[in-house]
């Protein structure tokens, strides 16, 4: 029964990043969704923001929202550090919690470490990121664990905005916490989905989620005011199809970026949009040279 199980979403606000870019809109990082699933006595948190300050805000919110309950798990959806570098801060407040992820996500984090940490330290310099970092523990191969008798299942997908990605399914709530498989009103990062093959794999990932017929769909990045629903799957799909349409017409990465801003002027994080366009255009050139 889902009656004693509930879910809340905390959106860590957009944070300044040290890009050195002259355009102020490219000096801010996207808001990050952090999901708290709780039963009568216990809770699980899905994803944490990158910085100490943002994670302290999350910890304070958890203490109010899950008053008197034990935080059992911190689940990491994928290998990007903006979704798990805050784990040490949360553990400082909830030392009994266990950081977990699927086997493939753990392997992905391990392979890109410590180069990934250096990248995030540059974006958030001067000690903004907690120093006591560690890689999450791997869940069983089936990705299953429980909170107050309710099943939660981490499920891998072929691709999202990066390679090692998963979602967390909570059948009793008809809930899927998607990480960066699904986006809200933020520019989607396509720098690691910069080929047609990878974007096709991302499409397959959405099909995997849609097949579960969820009522609640939590994206990895969104505006705090956005409702978490299945419509976001279609919105994420539509964005990538629009990107591919504009890619065919654009003469360079700058034109591609301008076209996406015209189509989606309200979205956050133009820094990632610029990176997505540049990396995709670079990959396009590499493909042409190989033929």
Q: Tell me the Ramachandran region of residue 290: left when phi exceeds 0, alpha when psi lies from -120 to 50, beta otherwise.
A: alpha
Q: Of 151, 116, 143, which Cα lies nearest the Cα of 2?
A: 151
Q: Which pairing describes strands 28-29 and 70-75: parallel, antiparallel, or unpaired?
A: unpaired
Give me the domains of the chain, ranges plus CATH numbers.
Answer: 6-290 (3.60.15.10)
The pLDDT value recorded for residue 285 is 76
Residue 146 CA to residue 271 CA, distance in Å, equals: 38
Q: Please, which residues have CB within 8 angstroms of residue 187's CB and are 6 or more apart in sequence?
A: 30, 260, 264, 267, 268, 269, 270, 272, 273, 276
pLDDT of residue 266: 96
C-alpha triplet 139, 145, 148: angle, nearest 5°: 150
Query: Cis (ω within 30 of 0) for the bond into 114?
Result: yes
Angle 131-137-139 from CA coordinates, rounded to 5°: 150
The pLDDT assigned to 287 comes to 46
Q: What is the mean pLDDT of the chain?
A: 96
Residues 49-71: tens digit of each pLDDT: 999 999 999 999 999 999 999 99
Residue 26: CB atoms within 10 Å: 17
CA 145/CA 39 separation, integer angstroms = 14
User: pTM of the entire structure?
Assistant: 0.96
Cα distance between residue 93 and residue 26, in whole Å = 33
pLDDT reported for residue 128: 98
Give the tens place of pLDDT for each residue, 204-215. 999 999 999 999
Other beta carbons within 10 angstroms of residue 35's beta carbon come to 23
Give CA–CA dist 228/216, Å, rounded.
6
Local structure of residue 112 (DSSP, 8 states)? T
């Amino acid at each position: 029964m889902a009656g004693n199980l509930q879910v809340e979403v905390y959106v860590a606000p957009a944070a300044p990043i040290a890009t050195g870019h002259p355009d102020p809109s490219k000096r801010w990082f996207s808001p990050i969704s952090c999901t708290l699933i709780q039963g009568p006595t216990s809770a699980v948190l899905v994803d944490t923001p990158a910085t100490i300050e943002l994670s302290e805000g999350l910890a304070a919110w958890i203490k109010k929202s899950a008053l008197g309950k034990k935080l059992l798990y911190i689940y990491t959806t994928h290998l990007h550090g903006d979704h798990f570098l805050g784990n040490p801060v949360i553990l400082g407040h909830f030392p009994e919690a266990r950081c977990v992820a699927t086997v493939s996500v753990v392997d992905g984090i391990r392979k890109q470490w410590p180069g990934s940490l250096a990248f995030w330290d540059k974006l958030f310099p001067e000690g903004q990121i907690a120093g006591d970092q560690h890689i999450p523990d791997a869940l069983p191969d089936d990705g299953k664990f429980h909170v107050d008798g309710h099943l939660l299942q981490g499920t891998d997908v072929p691709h999202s905005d990066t390679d090692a990605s998963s979602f967390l399914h909570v059948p009793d709530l008809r809930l899927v916490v998607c990480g960066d498989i699904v986006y809200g009103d933020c520019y989607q990062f396509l720098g690691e989905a910069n080929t047609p093959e990878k974007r096709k794999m991302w499409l397959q990932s959405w099909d995997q989620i849609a097949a579960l017929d969820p009522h609640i769909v939590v994206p990895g990045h969104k505006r705090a005011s956005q409702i978490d629903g299945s419509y976001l799957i279609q919105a994420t799909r539509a964005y990538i199809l629009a990107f591919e349409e504009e890619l065919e017409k654009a003469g360079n990465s700058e034109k591609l970026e301008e076209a996406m801003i015209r189509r989606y002027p309200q979205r956050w994080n133009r820094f990632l949009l610029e990176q997505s366009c540049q990396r995709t255009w670079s990959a396009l050139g590499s493909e042409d040279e190989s033929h």
